[in-house]
């Protein structure tokens, strides 16, 4: 059974937080705005409504970068770990890799798969989506 509270932290543990399940979604994002700040082929996100994310330590060490007109990315100013991304008011994205325990769902899809890094090929059975909002079915 999955606990309803899942703890998380940045790499250096200056910033600690917890989320309360259930989550809203979970999936792999291949967009360039995720790849560059994370230094990764793609980023696995989950999300919760903002009121179910609590910063339990180190709120002052969270740097906020306005990455688009209505979006921010939040990361630890000491170790650089990317923690949160918020582009909608209804929920806040949380990097699955920052969590210390399992959540209530597995990754459900690959988003922005058509703009993935050219060295990345994924062979799992999850839907591979793309298009303007990264969530449309792609012709194979
Ligand atoms: Zn840190
Ligand atoms: Zn992305």
Q: Is the dihedral of CA 66, 38, 126, 117 positive or negative?
A: positive
Residues with CB under 5 A from ligand 2 (ion): 29, 31, 34
Q: Is the dihedral of CA 50, 5, 2, 40 positive or negative?
A: positive
| Alpha carbon of 43 to ligand 2 centroid (Å) | 7
Half-sphere exposure of 137 toward its Cβ, with a 13 Å CA cutoff?
A: 2
Q: What is the pLDDT along the chain (140 residues), one digit of tens a residue?
A: 567 999 999 999 999 999 999 999 999 999 999 999 999 999 999 999 999 999 999 999 999 999 989 899 999 999 999 999 999 889 999 999 999 999 999 999 999 999 999 999 999 999 999 999 999 999 76
Q: Domains of the chain (ranges plus CATH)?
A: 5-137 (2.170.150.70)
What are the residues whose beta carbons fall under 8 Å from the beta carbon of 85, sequence distance 6 or more? 34, 45, 67, 71, 72, 73, 74, 92, 93
Residues with CB under 5 A from ligand 1 (ion): 10, 12, 14, 76, 78-79
How would you class 101 by CB atoms within 10 Å of its CB: exposed for 0-12, middle for 13-18, buried for 19 or more? exposed
Which ligand places an atom closest to the C-alpha of 38?
2
């Amino acid at each position: 059974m999955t606990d309803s509270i899942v703890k998380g932290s940045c790499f250096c543990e200056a910033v600690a937080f917890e989320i309360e399940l259930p989550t809203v979604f979970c999936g792999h994002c291949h967009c360039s705005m995720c790849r560059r700040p994370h230094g990764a082929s793609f980023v696995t996100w989950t999300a919760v409504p903002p009121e179910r994310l609590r910063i339990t330590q180190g709120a002052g060490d969270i740097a906020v970068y306005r990455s688009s007109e209505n979006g921010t990315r939040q990361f630890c100013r000491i170790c650089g770990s990317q923690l949160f991304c918020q582009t909608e008011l209804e929920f806040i994205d949380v990097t699955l890799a920052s969590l210390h325990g399992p959540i209530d769902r597995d990754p459900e899809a690959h988003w922005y798969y058509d703009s993935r890094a050219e060295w990345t090929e994924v062979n799992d059975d999850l839907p591979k989506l793309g298009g303007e909002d990264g969530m449309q079915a792609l012709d194979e």
